[in-house]
Structure 1
Amino acid sequence: MQRIICAGAAGMLILASPAALAQLPPEQRSNAELAAELADLKKALAEQRALLEQLRQQVADARLAAERGMGGAGAGAASGSPQSQPQPQLPPSSPAPAGGGQQPVLAVGQPPKRDSKPPEVAPIFESPGVLTARGKLVLEPSFQFGYSSSNRVALVGYTIIPALLIGLIDVREVKRNTSTATLSGRFGLSNRSELELRLPYIYRSDSTVSRELFTGTAVENVFDTSGRGVGDVELTLRHQLNDGGVDKPFYVAGLRLKTRTGRDPFEVVTDCVRRCVGENASGTGLPLDLPTGSGFYALQPSLTWLYPSDPAVLFGSVSYLHNFERHNLRRQVLNGEWEPLGSVKPGDVIGFNFGVGLALNEKASLSFGYDHSSIARTKQNGAPAPGSVRTQLGTLLVGMSYRLNPKRTVNASVGAGLTRDTPDVSITVRVPTSM
């Protein structure tokens, strides 16, 4: 009898225990208990699905970043050390649901932070798309070579009939070579802003085949001239306006100030015996030494956009360059006299470009693009300067980037002129190095 009583008491204790209730067959448990256990399982399943979706999105972003050179150790070569990808925190285990025998469920942790920096592409334009990280310094030595040629035929005289010219035929063929060595430094003010300083050194050489005006000679002369020295120093501020991402554009605003530290065109001596205009003018009218600067201050706002679209990155920019007017200008002619020019204002420049970048592998990328600039007429004393017209410059560019190590990248680009006023060919090599 005592054993029966003890067994009955033990059975009552087992039925009173929640864990024991979970061990009972389903037919011996109430509907409320089964519903509570089912709700717990559904909640745990939803949490697991949310965690799986976050991890899947992180893997997709990391794969896209690796294909385009963004993130990881290799993306900071051109823009400083990139923001490190945060590792997902392992969430603590949650208690088992009411149903015994279930594995512990991992609770959802904090969602991983996404890299808000634009993707990196092989640079073919002057403005980089990827900004320097906060507190980082990037030094970028570069070398650019440009070659252009042009032919000019001018009729200096008058015609009696269309087939008969009374006067001279001014024929000029100009071959121009320009080499520019530049040291650029970019410093990250924040993760969204950077400051850039460009220090150029320019060497120019021109060869002009022509004949002197108003001398009556039919002999063609070759006029060689050159110039070298520091060019116009530039200071640029850039700021990323938004957080982009996969299938979301990035926008970067920029403001560039161009100084006139280089030797301007009004400081060189012009090959004219008297003034370069008028009936008694003689000489080629060309400068004896080539300038290394434009001679004018300029301010250029711009907006750059990058649009990741797997497996490519679309990019482009629009800009407006405003040249500031100078007053009381004059130039020196060959005999030491000064020719007054008055007020001169170069035409403003409206520019735009666009292109596409493709990642070949984790180290190499390729870019194609087109750059166009429309230059307004130059004004002298408030009126259009003689012979000044609106000029269109169009350049087709292709560039390639290769990452040597996590801190250094080699970028090379080639441009081909599509209009008469554009340089025939330009070659640029850059080696950005993160400090």
Structure 2
Amino acid sequence: MKIRTLPALLAAALLVHAIPALAQTAQPGGTAPSTPPSTPPASADAARDALAKKEGEGDQSALLKQTLTAVDKQYSLIRRGQIQVSYDLNYAYIGQEKIVTDIGAGGLTLFEIENVSSHTITNTFSADYGILNNLTGNVTLPLISKYAEAKGHSGVSNSIGDIGLGARWQPMEARRDQPNLTVTGNVRLPSGRSPFKIIAGSGQATGGGVTAFSAGLNINRIVDPVALFGSLSVTTSLPAKDLHQVNGTRLLTRVAPGTSVGFGLGFAYALSYGISTTISFQEAISAGSRLRFADGLNAKTSMQTSGMLNLGLGYRVSPKTTVNLSVGIGVTSDSPNLSVGLNLPLAF
């Protein structure tokens, strides 16, 4: 009897507690209790956040564009009205054996082999300004420290280099699934120490000594996580006149540098959202320069070919900043033996 009564008492107690809630629901104007929205377990949120890309990562194409900019600034443009400033530090070493000859009346009067070596550190500050969304202006200011050593000549030279003015124009809108073309134009002003106004063979020059004009075409295409790029350029220079440089037993009065044609190709590969690598090859073929001496002798130098194999590593320190380190190895006798470069974008 007691066992049967206990369930009935529990049911009655539950009914007493439920009556006020039912009465409130039945009243006019009463509102039904809302059902709280279902939420996924905390473990599901953590998994979703872990798989999601972090802010600023986007896709790897942004990192590849920044890497291309550091490898060769001719591959990217900036928006109208924007300014980008960057700093480049480069070290180059040249060591070679140089044959020195001179021809006088009656035949060869001088023939000797000189060991020539130079160490050059170049600090370059460059600024890009977006004239239009598809047109960017550029100015570069190099500061050069050079130590050269040759037979009878050695010393250190610190001077400004040749100032460069350039523009980059993108004729067609950049699209992800199509190659991007960029047309370039540059003027190099002879603001550095001219090689035609120093002691011949001393290696103390910090500039080319002539005004040079160059035009080029660059192409790149990003196929995530790889970016392919290539370039073609032509450079011509104005002659250096009214010179008075002693060269052997003669007085050099005029130099007309030959036209130079260059090309390059390579690729960049994004290992992750923060690390990228680049491999590229650059070659320049220069026609011989024409020399005129005070005694009426005209001469022409031989053609030169310079080739460099470049290996680079890019590290993305922030969504807008990528630091790039590169190492270049000369593959021809007319190239620097070794080149080490560092590119660092500066906030402005």
Do residues 69 (structure 1) and 62 (structure 2) align?
Answer: yes
Q: Percent identity?
A: 24
Helix, strand or coil at the partner of 2:67? coil
| Structure 1 contact 149–174 (Cα < 8 Å) conserved | yes
Which residue among 203, 210, 214 is the counterpart of 2:145?
Answer: 203
| Structure 2 contact 245–253 (Cα < 8 Å) conserved | no
1:406: which partner in 2? 319
Give the Cα–Cα distance (whole angstroms) in 2 for the partners of residues 144 and 362 of structure 1: 26
TM-score of the aligned structures, taking structure 1 as reference length: 0.60
2:39: which partner in 1? none
CA deviation map 1:15-74 (0-9, x unaligned): xxxxxxxxxxxxxxxxxxxxxxxxxxxxxxxxxxxxxxxxxxxxxxxxx9612226xxxx
1:133: which partner in 2? 79
Do residues 247 (structure 1) and 177 (structure 2) align?
Answer: yes
CA deviation map 1:137-165 (0-9, x unaligned): 111011110001101356889xxxxxxxx
TM-score of the aligned structures, taking structure 2 as reference length: 0.74
Aligned pairs for 1:94-109 within 5 A? none
Give the Cα–Cα distance (whole angstroms) in 2 for the partners of residues 431 and 374 of structure 1: 30
2:88: which partner in 1? 142
Give the Cα–Cα distance (whole angstroms) in 2 for the partners of residues 371 and 207 of structure 1: 27
Residue 184 of structure 1: CA displacement? Answer: 0.6
Which residue among 294, 302, 307 is the counterpart of 1:394?
Answer: 307
2:134: which partner in 1? 192
Helix, strand or coil at the partner of 2:185? strand
Give the Cα–Cα distance (whole angstroms) in 2 for the partners of residues 331 and 154 of structure 1: 16
Give the Cα–Cα distance (whole angstroms) in 2 for the partners of residues 342 and 332 of structure 1: 9
Give the Cα–Cα distance (whole angstroms) in 1 for the partners of residues 319 and 224 of structure 2: 24
Give the Cα–Cα distance (whole angstroms) in 2 for the partners of residues 365 and 326 of structure 1: 43
Residue 223 of structure 2 aligns with an amino acid whose one-letter code is S
1:286: which partner in 2? 201
Residue 305 of structure 1: CA displacement? Answer: 0.5
Residue 228 of structure 1: CA displacement? Answer: 1.4
Q: Is there any run of 5+ residues in structure 2 with no aligned partner, and where? A: 1-56
Aligned pairs for 1:233-272 within 5 A? 233-268=163-198, 270=199
Aligned residue pairs, count: 287
Higher strand share: 2
Give the Cα–Cα distance (whole angstroms) in 2 for the partners of residues 156 and 298 of structure 1: 29
| Structure 2 contact 68–76 (Cα < 8 Å) conserved | no
Residue 403 of structure 1: CA displacement? Answer: 1.8
CA deviation map 1:253-295 (0-9, x unaligned): 1110100111212332x2xxxxxxxxxxxxxx533x7121111
Residue 311 of structure 1: CA displacement? Answer: 3.0
| Alpha carbons of structure 1 residues 418 and 240: separation in structure 2 relative to 1, 3 Å | same
| Alpha carbons of structure 1 residues 267 and 155: separation in structure 2 relative to 1, 3 Å | closer
Give the Cα–Cα distance (whole angstroms) in 1 for the partners of residues 91 and 346 of structure 2: 21
1:26: which partner in 2? none
Residue 316 of structure 1: CA displacement? Answer: 1.0
Residue 386 of structure 1: CA displacement? Answer: 3.9
| Structure 2 contact 67–322 (Cα < 8 Å) conserved | no
Give the Cα–Cα distance (whole angstroms) in 2 for the partners of residues 385 and 167 of structure 1: 18
Give the Cα–Cα distance (whole angstroms) in 1 for the partners of residues 246 and 98 of structure 2: 25
| Alpha carbons of structure 1 residues 248 and 205: separation in structure 2 relative to 1, 3 Å | same
Give the Cα–Cα distance (whole angstroms) in 1 for the partners of residues 221 and 333 of structure 2: 32
Helix, strand or coil at the partner of 2:136? strand
Which residue among 353, 371, 380 is the counterpart of 2:282?
Answer: 371
Aligned pairs for 1:198-347 within 5 A? 198-208=140-150, 210=151, 223-268=153-198, 270=199, 286-287=201-202, 290-331=204-245, 340-347=251-258
Helix, strand or coil at the partner of 2:60? helix
Helix, strand or coil at the partner of 1:121? helix
Residue 357 of structure 1: CA displacement? Answer: 0.9
CA deviation map 1:204-243 (0-9, x unaligned): 11112x4xxxxxxxxxxx6323311111100110011212
Do residues 173 (structure 1) and 84 (structure 2) align?
Answer: no
Q: Is there any run of 5+ residues in structure 1 with no aligned partner, and where? A: 1-63, 76-118, 158-165, 211-221, 271-284
